[in-house]
């Protein structure tokens, strides 16, 4: 049987939550503690964490569409932080979209 691409299934939610959890585990903040970029990095992490927690909440509530949107927003914050250099991701261009 072919997987439907227009449906957010429990398996698909699990996959995307796992990908984002792995991204969180990989990230190290690159900005120095007393820099403006550190404040930005902390803010990006806070936004990503909030969206990730929202995704888990909505999934548990059975709202997979909103959960799927939230987990993608969470990963986008992480991805953007990695791309602009706020986060060190050890060159991982599988979990993150790096500039080069």
Q: What is the pLDDT of residue 4?
A: 76
pLDDT tens digits, one per residue of 55-85: 999 999 999 999 999 999 999 999 999 999 9
Helix/strand/coil percentages in the chain, nearest 5: 60, 5, 35
- The average confidence (pLDDT) of the chain is 95
In eight-state DSSP terms, residue 71 is: H
Q: Model pTM?
A: 0.92
Q: Three-state DSSP class for 28?
A: strand
Q: Does CATH number 1.20.1270 belong to domain 33-100?
A: yes
Domain boundaries, the chain: 33-100
Average pLDDT over residues 83-98: 95
């Amino acid at each position: 049987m072919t997987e439907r691409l227009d449906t957010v299934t429990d398996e698909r939610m699990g996959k995307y939550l796992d990908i984002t959890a792995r991204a969180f585990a990989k990230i190290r903040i690159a900005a120095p503690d007393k820099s403006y970029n550190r404040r930005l990095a902390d803010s990006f992490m806070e936004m990503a964490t909030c969206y990730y927690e929202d995704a888990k909440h909505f999934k548990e509530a059975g709202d997979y569409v909103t959960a799927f949107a939230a987990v993608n927003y969470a990963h986008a914050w992480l991805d953007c932080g990695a791309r602009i250099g706020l986060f060190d991701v050890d060159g991982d261009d599988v979990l993150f979209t790096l500039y080069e």
